[in-house]
């Protein structure tokens, strides 16, 4: 009998919110903050053995938290201060999950409150069923998160630089990517105040 694969998740919420002009992670969202709402939904995904959320120190402090403490089920980690965008968050997140001996990691965005636990579980199931190196969600309007990376690519994830870094691996290994069709629109992310107002009016 083969053992169930161990899958963890990294929630990327360590950005500076420069386009919004304030920490979007702390924006109100249904009686809590945006990042708390995202973490709460991710934690509903039963296939996740462990979760890390990457937050800037000042954001964690505003939530009354420190590095290593929990936000919901997620362990808080701080991004490397290297100015390398989300790539620094991959390194911090993977380091935090290293002792968990994972078979794969799911990459999620901390500013996508419309992401559903069921979607995360479907993409993980697709990765496991296909034995692919990478699994991605394809919505009606294009490919998006969650992204699942097999442990064979962890070293390359750590070595990435800059923004949109994980998508570089998706492009590089396109023939090893399994696409999971999601018959919904892509969950919108929040980069500007207009995005926030629009998502809040729609509830996601």
146 has pLDDT over 90: yes
Closest Cα partner for 170 from 189, 151, 143? 143
* pTM given for the model: 0.93
Predicted pLDDT of residue 83: 54
Question: Phi and psi at residue 180, in whole multiples of 5°?
Answer: -105, 115
Alpha-carbon gap, residue 115 to 120, rounded angstroms: 8
Average pLDDT over residues 170-198: 91
* Chain Cα centroid distance, residue 35: 11
Alpha-carbon gap, residue 73 to 66, rounded angstroms: 14
When pLDDT is cut at 50, 70 and 90, the band that residue 84 belongs to is low
Chain position carrying tokens 């979007």:
24
Q: When comparing pLDDT for 157 and 7, which is higher?
A: 7
82 has pLDDT over 80: no
Q: Give whole-number Cα distances, 82 to 19, 21, 61, 124, in Å.
A: 20, 21, 20, 30
3-state secondary structure 191-203: CCHHHHHHHHHHC
Question: What percent of the chain clears pLDDT 90, i.e. is strictly above it?
Answer: 61
pLDDT tens for each residue of 8-49: 999 999 887 777 778 899 999 988 999 999 999 999 999 999
163 has pLDDT over 70: no
Closest Cα partner for 153 from 178, 131, 134, 127? 134
């Amino acid at each position: 009998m083969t053992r169930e694969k161990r899958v963890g998740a990294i929630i990327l919420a360590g950005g500076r919110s420069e386009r919004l002009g304030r920490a979007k992670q702390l924006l109100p969202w249904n009686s809590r903050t945006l990042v708390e709402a995202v973490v709460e939904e991710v934690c509903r995904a039963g296939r996740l053995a462990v979760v890390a959320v990457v937050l800037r120190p000042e954001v964690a402090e505003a939530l009354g938290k420190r590095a290593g403490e929990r936000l919901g089920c997620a362990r808080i980690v701080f991004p490397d201060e290297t100015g390398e965008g989300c790539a620094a968050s991959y390194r911090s997140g993977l380091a935090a999950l290293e002792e968990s001996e994972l078979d794969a990691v799911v990459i999620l965005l901390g500013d996508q409150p419309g992401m559903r636990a069921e979607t995360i579980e479907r993409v993980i199931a697709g990765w496991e069923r296909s034995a692919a190196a990478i699994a991605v969600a394809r919505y009606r309007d294009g490919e998006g998160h969650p992204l699942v990376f097999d442990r064979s690519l962890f070293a390359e994830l750590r070595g990435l630089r800059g923004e949109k870094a994980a998508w570089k691996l998706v492009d590089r290994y396109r023939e090893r990517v399994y696409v999971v069709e999601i018959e919904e629109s892509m969950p919108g992310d929040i980069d500007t105040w207009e995005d926030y107002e629009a998502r809040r009016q729609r509830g996601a």
